[in-house]
A = this chain, B = another copy of it.
Amino acid sequence: MQVSLYDTTLRDGTQREGLSLSVEDKVKIARVLDGLGVHYVEGGWPGSNPKDAEFFGRLARGGLSRAKVAAFGSTRRAGARCADDPSIQALVAAETPVVTLVGKSSTLHVERVLETTRVENLRMIGESVAFFRALGKEVVYDAEHLFDGWRLDPDYALATLGAAADAGADWIVLCDTNGGSLPETVREVVGCIRERIRTPLGIHPHNDSGLAVANALAAVQAGCGQVQGTINGYGERCGNVDLVPVIANLQLKLGYEVLPPEQLRRLTEVSHFVAAVANLNPDAHAPYVGRSAFAHKGGIHVAAIAKVPESYQHIDPAAVGNEMRVVVSEVAGRRNVRLRAEALGLEAAASEADVLRRIKELEHRGFQFEAAEGSFEMLLRRAEPGYRPPFELLEFTVIVEKRGGQEVAAQATVKLHVAGQIMHTAAEGDGPVNALDQALRKALVPHYPELDEVRLVDYKVRIVDEHLGTAARPRVIVESARGIERWSTVGCSENIIEASWLALWDSLELPLLRNGRSPPAPAPTPPA
């Protein structure tokens, strides 16, 4: 049996405290979800947020290949007409094939929050659904507080679903908005509704009781054909249901068709990618995809695993793209390097083991290559026979000063060995990293004018080992672009300026090597 995945990371996920995504971030995540095989990608609430309107505009120009894009909004206001309701009109303007409407199923919310009548609420649901059906949209109806409403007045809750069904909704999604329901309640209520409503049903659980994954599975087993959730369980309060273990449990434990098996193996990568874009540390202990999910510490466990891998593992970690961590397979690692080198059209055969050793050493120091393919490429290129660096750092100094009520000032000087010459430059900047970047470009552009076209389009900082306070290690990821070509590079150090320098270095050297730029003789000495 097929289960539909409806991802709301870009809308409900961003309700998580401290999470905010730029339009560019949202587009990146939408593309990755599309590639994974998610069926619906909800992009935002165009009526409440101008950034969301921009997102829908971007996707309209370069859409997704398989996933359907959904815009989210609420049913029309009490006493209004759909045609006059600005929030409904913002949904129309989003021009998405799918419109998701949230409406009230609980009498508490109808009477005390909306402060309208039960009858008017039914009209709001029916008219809003019918309005978008008449525009030819696929309509998903999200029944907010369905389970809480069921407890208060099951007949009225059912009547709200009937209003959506009669108006032609394509899906009716039962929301455990406050996250307080138990799996047996979910199973029982879904079963009752399944008998009375013929529209396909979905489930939208929250994790306030630590039961979101169990509730999603119970709902699917009771007849829901769609799960609405977020990658990594991001969301308000304790989060939405985490789609990652939902997908893995449905497919590997319960035999549902969710993703093609080859896509299931990308689950770990996708989870980490979304965390990187959201600038959050991935949860090392997350089921299935955490770095520690198949890591074995206890001596007895390790000994048992050496004899029988499944003795302390509930699944083969490769099924979700993760790996067992105690017995690190050197062969698997080398194969990965080779695969990735081939993908870049580079020869790594000779130095595979060296590159692997270098990666392990750098990752131990806090580097991370998952989101920094450009730096991975630089590792391979620097290991190639005959590599000669197009420039070499001799020294830099960065000074930041604040005096009295004045603005903070930042300046940098750099001394580089470039194509046989010493370049010594200085620049001011908006901050120390910008000053360093400006000084580097002043030294390089006279020799490599093509660097004038290279723009830094993204700069991210994440702290490794956050609990060390200001002595923690910042990891910097820089994204650069030249035309439509893009590459990400990484640097990590206790010193944020040095971490930035390392990421900038790779970001500026990579386009030179791709262009076949080699320094004229005499070559500078290779870096240590």
Contact = CB atoms under 8 A, between A and B. Distances in A.
Contacts of A497: 400, 408, 410, 431-432
Contact of A22 (B183, B210, B285, B466): B466
Contact of A463 (B432, B461, B494, B501): B461
Given A214-B211, A312-B178, A474 B431 contact: yes
A280 B308 CA distance: 32
Given A22-B467, A292-B237, A460-B463, A402 B393 contact: yes
B239 A285 contact: yes
Given A209-B314, A459-B463, 12 more contacts: A17-B295, A22-B466, A182-B253, A184-B221, A209-B245, A211-B217, A236-B298, A237-B292, A394-B404, A400-B495, A436-B470, A459-B472
Interface stretch (A35-43, A106-114, A382-390): A106-114
Nearest to A115: B307
Interface string A23-47: 0110000000000000000000000
A313 to B, nearest CB: 6
8 contacts: A402-B498, A430-B495, A431-B493, A434-B470, A436-B470, A456-B470, A461-B462, A496-B496
Interface string A484-495: 000000000111
A253 B184 CA distance: 12
Copies in the complex: 2
A197 interface: no
Contacts of A437: 469-470
A194 interface: no
A2 interface: no
A524 to B, nearest CB: 13
A281 B474 CA distance: 17
A183 B182 contact: no
Contacts of A434: 469-471, 494
A395 interface: yes
A117 interface: no
A217 B182 contact: yes
A394 B288 CA distance: 52
Given A292-B237, A402-B501, A284 B17 contact: yes
Interface string A377-413: 0000000000000000111111111111100101000
A211 B213 contact: yes
Given A242-B210, A253-B209, A471 B429 contact: yes
Interface of A: 15-18, 20, 22, 24-25, 48, 108-109, 112-113, 177-180, 182-184, 207-211, 213-214, 217-218, 221, 233, 236-239, 242, 245, 248-249, 253-254, 279-281, 284-288, 290, 292-299, 301, 304, 307-308, 310-315, 327, 368, 370-371, 393-405, 408, 410, 429-434, 436-437, 455-463, 465-472, 474, 478, 493-498, 500-501, 504, 528
A139 to B, nearest CB: 21
A54 to B, nearest CB: 12
B394 A397 contact: no
Nearest to A495: B431
A233 B180 CA distance: 19
A233 B430 CA distance: 35
Contacts of A400: 397-399, 432, 495, 497-498
Given A17-B295, A237-B293, A312-B177, A211 B112 contact: no
Nearest to A499: B431
Nearest to A23: B467
A236, A301, A327, A400: most-surrounded residue (chain B CB, <10 A): A400
A474 B209 CA distance: 32
A415 to B, nearest CB: 9
Contacts of A461: 461-463, 474, 496
Given A209-B314, A405-B528, A461-B462, A471 B113 contact: no
Contact of A314 (B16, B180, B281): B180
B238 A429 contact: no
A494 B307 CA distance: 48
Nearest to A494: B430
Contacts of A404: 394-395
B430 A113 contact: no
Contacts of A298: 15, 236
Nearest to A402: B396
B16 A470 contact: no
A154 to B, nearest CB: 19
Given A249-B210, A395-B402, A471-B430, A236 B296 contact: yes
Given A209-B287, A236-B297, A467-B280, A112 B311 contact: yes
Contacts of A436: 470
A59 B496 CA distance: 33
Contacts of A314: 178-180, 208-209
Q: Which 6 A-B pairs have the closest CB atoms?
A: A180-B314, A456-B469, A214-B214, A210-B245, A431-B495, A461-B461
